[in-house]
Amino acid sequence: MPHFSFRQWNGGSGGGSAPFPTGSQDVLPPSSQRALPLVCRADLQVQEIDVRGRRHYVVKDPLGLTYLRLLPVQHRVLKLLDGTRSLDDVVAVLHSDPEYRRFDVGQIRGILFDLHDKGLVWSSRPGTAAAVVDQQKKERVQRWKRRLTSLLFIRLPGWNARTFLVLLTDCFGWLFTPWAFGLAALFGLWTGLFLLSHFEEFQRQLPSLDETLTGQNLMTLWCVVGGLKILHEFGHGVACRRFGGESQTIGAAFLVFSPCLYCDVSDSWMLSRRGHRMVVSAAGMYVELLIASVALWLWWFSVPGLFHSLCLQIVVVGSVSTLLFNANPLLRYDGYYLLQDLFGVPNLQSRSQQAMQDALWWTLLGAEMPDNPLMTPRSRIGYVAYGLGSAGYRWSMVLGVGLFLYSVLEPYGLQVLAWGYALASVVAAAGLFLNSGWKAVQTQDLRRSAPIRLLAVGSVVGGLGWFVLSCPMPFHVTAPLIVEARGVQHVYSESPGRLQSLLVREGERVEAGQPIAELVNTEFDHRVIELEGKIRTLETDSELARAISDPDLNALAREGLRTVLYQLEHARTDRQRLSVRAPVSGRILTAPPEADTSGGQDASVPGLRVGALNSQRLESHVLRRTHLCSIVPERGWQAVAWVDQEQLGTIAADGTVDLRLEAFPGRTIHGTVESIAAADESTVPAALSKKSGGQITTQSAEDDEVPDRRLYRVVVRLEGEALPLLVGMRGTCQLDNPANTIGEWLYRAFYRTFPAGGAS
């Protein structure tokens, strides 16, 4: 962003120690006839400018590199201060000019105070140096306060880059000529019309938030933002020098935590023509939009790849961010300075903030409105309206950044950082509010009705706050998902064994109860043979006991026989389970094997995209609960999302769902909630575990992946999708929920961050 340092007389009566006699003591000669100990600084640079047909003067302080805009009367008084004239002399000279006769002695005295406070004059009176030092300390404190309350734009000290800017101006100064502006406007118009005619294609290519937040995309996005902002600031510097201004200082800054530069073009205030000043303010946006227009054509004609995605990022950053941030007059960026020059209102933000504070304390405490000759009652309303709009937009940005940080950090359990950012912003704003209120209480003669007014206004504000928190507002629940065939029945091995034979193939139609695979487990065979041998032995013992008429031995043998028969029945059942049969009629589906995530074991869990029912898995060992295949009784697809318990109650039955699959980046699939599980799931598909690149944190337990929190299955019916879907595709979805209130959402978000029972 360009850095402007600019101040103007605010019509105040001054403050601090008086730099010239003000008393009414009966001394000769009177104080008004003694020479004023104020002398205009000889190093000041003054430029006369035209502001909407009115004459003003801009004064440059070469020591502090600050700029002040003076009214003609202020400039006239400044030139009269030579250390020899008295207050009466200054008044007499001013009243000799019809233009200044309307200013009385009190107003002229206020001008003298203001010129001294702004450092435009030096005082020969002893003891004033300490007051100047105190004033400088106060200004430094105010600068630090502004930095702490402006977390969206952090500016670091700069360096002298005059030689580099001179070289840039020699090479690219022609971009700021009338014919270059005309060609750029035609090119931008042509590009804009082309974009509108192909907007659907452009929108389809835009990456989702999950894709944007990948490591490579984040790095390229930071580089694009940093590079564009560097060229943006160079545009300001070149334009300023092109029209005769001085631009020397360049420094690093962070805009919404993204690296950029700032270029100090405060010297543009010394340009006499308003059009030149406005061009300097708009130069950065002009450069960004020009680069974005070129990048759009390069993106359109290039093939998909790194260069293609870089061009798309340049288009988005160079156009959208320019319009939302730089061109917005509600933020103190380029659009703000354009608005100042357009209407000839310097220090618009400080004036609007002062007008808002005056109106606020008049409303709350009954404080009187200060008399400011630069603010008419009509203009005061405009300043308050601008201040409210600017404050509202800034807070909406703070809220947006906070929500963005929360959504990004929540999957990693770091959402407390987003709350810290919000708390820092609120505390900083509350500190400024209380400080301003304390000053109003100390300096104003408050009316007796102040407590009643404060209570009434507080009640109204509290009611409005309750109304806002109670307002229904739709939110979205984001959850990981996996694709399944509609009505799918998963087939798992119920007993461990070696896959000996496959009786069906993928896509083949099977009937309920039909064998589909045979497993072999010699341990089961040995167990059955062993138990059958025990049975024969026990039967022999029982016959022997009957022969010798020993009832106790006979009872013991028969009890042992019943136990072994029960074990044999279970052993035969386990062996029978080695023959896998179809639970329902339908079509066989399998999935290609993927990387083993079970710690080196050849196993699977429910829903894993591994289908053991293929020729590649023949003669391999299969553990219990291994996914062999899936049987689809009907055609169509569905997705199963795993939703956090705390968000389950906010999902609407039959609600709409937007899905994005990893296999089809940039494509959105639509669906409808079909069913919501009544109980939480103890396991999740391994493909959705972070161990396999998913989003759910799990712990391994035997052959399953157990989530670290309670999750519920939500089945989503996909509607008429023509994409080549496969079983086991991963993705994310956004589920619409009923209109919950803002207060409920804040409570749930706070509870998830700071649970009552502590971290689990």
Average pLDDT over residues 550-564: 79
Say if residue 678's pLDDT is above 70.
no
Whether residue 645 is predicted with pLDDT greater than 90 in this model: the reply is no
Q: pLDDT-based confidence at 239, cuts 50/70/90?
A: very high
* 162 closest CA partner among 232, 63, 238, 243: 238
pLDDT at 227: 87
Please state, in angstroms and rounded to a whole number, the distance separating the CA atoms of residues 676 and 680: 10
- Average pLDDT on 499-505 reads 80
Q: Does position 760 have pLDDT exceeding 50, yes or no?
A: no
Q: Where are the beta strands (DSSP E) in 633-668?
A: 637-644, 656-661
pLDDT at residue number 731: 86
Is the pLDDT confidence value at 339 over 80? yes
For 2-131, the fitting CATH number among 3.40.50.300, 3.30.70.260, 3.90.930.60, 3.40.800.10 is: 3.90.930.60
Give the C-alpha separation, 699 to 682, whole Å.
11
Please give the pLDDT value at position 178. 92
How far, in Å, CA of 648 to CA of 477, rounded? 9
Q: Which two tokens stand for residue 164?
A: 């580099």
Task: Check pLDDT > 80 for residue 270.
Answer: yes
| Other beta carbons less than 10 A from residue 259's beta carbon | 15
The CB density around residue 634, as the number of other CB atoms within 10 Å, is 10
Asked which of 101-115, 164-178, 603-617 is least confident by mean pLDDT, the reply is 603-617
Grade residue 210 by pLDDT with cuts at 50, 70 and 90: low
pLDDT for position 295: 92
Residue 152 confidence (pLDDT) above 50: yes
Residue of 572 and 141 predicted with greater confidence: 572
Which stretch of DSSP H or E encloses residue 45? strand 45-51
pLDDT tens profile 102-122: 888 888 888 888 888 888 888
Per-residue confidence (pLDDT) for residue 607, from 0 to 100: 31
Higher pLDDT, 509 or 442: 509
* pLDDT at 93 exceeding the cut of 80: yes
Q: 582-603 pLDDT, tens per residue?
A: 888 888 876 544 433 333 333 3
* pLDDT score for 175: 92
The Cα–Cα gap between 398 and 356 comes to: 20
Predicted pLDDT of residue 122:
81
Percent of the chain with pLDDT over 90: 6
Cα distances (angstroms) measured from residue 209 to each of 404, 408, 555, 660: 10, 9, 74, 11
Max Cα–Cα distance, the chain, nearest Å? 151
Average confidence (pLDDT) over 729-758: 70
Tokens of 5: 């340092």
- For 668, the 3-state DSSP assignment is coil
Cβ neighbours of residue 309 closer than 8 Å, sequence gap 6 or more: 207, 217, 220
Higher-confidence residue of 530 and 158: namely 530
- Is residue 302 predicted with pLDDT exceeding 80? yes
Q: What is the DSSP letter of 611?
A: -
At a CB cut-off of 8 Å and minimum separation 6, what does 267 contact?
60, 67, 240, 245, 246, 247
727 compared with 182, residue with greater pLDDT: 182
- Integer CA distances (angstroms), 719 to 527, 587, 633, 642, 716, in order: 51, 21, 18, 20, 9
Residue 644 token pair: 């956090």
pLDDT band at 193 (very low <50, low <70, confident <90, very high): very high
pLDDT value of residue 287 = 94
Q: What are the DSSP calls for 86-112, one per residue?
A: BHHHHHHHHHTSGGGTT--HHHHHHHH
Is 600 in a helix, a strand, or coil?
Answer: coil
> Does the pLDDT value for residue 612 go beyond 60?
no
Residue 598 tokens read as 């079970």
Q: Are 5 and 70 in contact (CB under 8 A)?
A: no
Question: Which of the two residues, 175 and 529, has the higher pLDDT score?
Answer: 175
Task: Name the 3-class secondary structure at 77.
Answer: helix
Structural contact between residues 59 and 45, judged by C-beta atoms closer than 8 angstroms: yes
pLDDT of residue 758: 46
By mean pLDDT, which of 336-350, 420-434, 599-613, 713-727 is the weakest?
599-613
Q: For 410-469, what is each residue's pLDDT tens digit?
A: 666 677 777 777 787 777 777 776 776 666 666 655 555 566 766 776 777 788 778 777
| pLDDT tier for residue 10 given thresholds of 50, 70 and 90 | very low
Percent of the residues in the chain that have a pLDDT greater than 70, as a whole number: 75
Among 695, 717, 687, 694, smallest CA distance to 627 is for 687
- Report how far apart the first and last C-alpha atoms of the chain are (Å, whole number): 45
Number of C-beta neighbours around residue 553 at 10 A: 15
Is residue 242 pLDDT above 80, yes or no?
Answer: yes
357, 435 Cβ separation under 8 angstroms: no
Alpha-carbon distance 500 to 520, whole Å? 6
Model pLDDT, residue 603: 33
Average pLDDT over residues 672-683: 72
How far apart CA 48 and CA 76 sit, in angstroms, is 12
Residue ranges per structural domain of the chain: 2-131, 150-346, 348-473, 479-486+632-753, 523-573
**Which residue did the predictor score with more confidence, 706 or 307?**
307
Query: pTM here?
Result: 0.59
What is the average per-residue pLDDT within 673-696?
Answer: 73
pLDDT tens for residues 116-149? 888 888 877 666 666 666 766 777 776 666 665 5
pLDDT at 64: 72
CA dist., res. 327 & res. 318, Å (int): 12
Dihedral sign for Cα atoms in the order 414, 420, 421, 423: positive
Write the CATH number of the domain with boundaries 479-486+632-753. 2.40.30.170
pLDDT recorded at residue 473: 67
Question: What pLDDT shows up at residue 591?
Answer: 52
pLDDT of residue 4: 45
What pLDDT, on the 0 to 100 scale, is given for residue 187? 94
* Position with higher pLDDT, 435 vs 234: 234
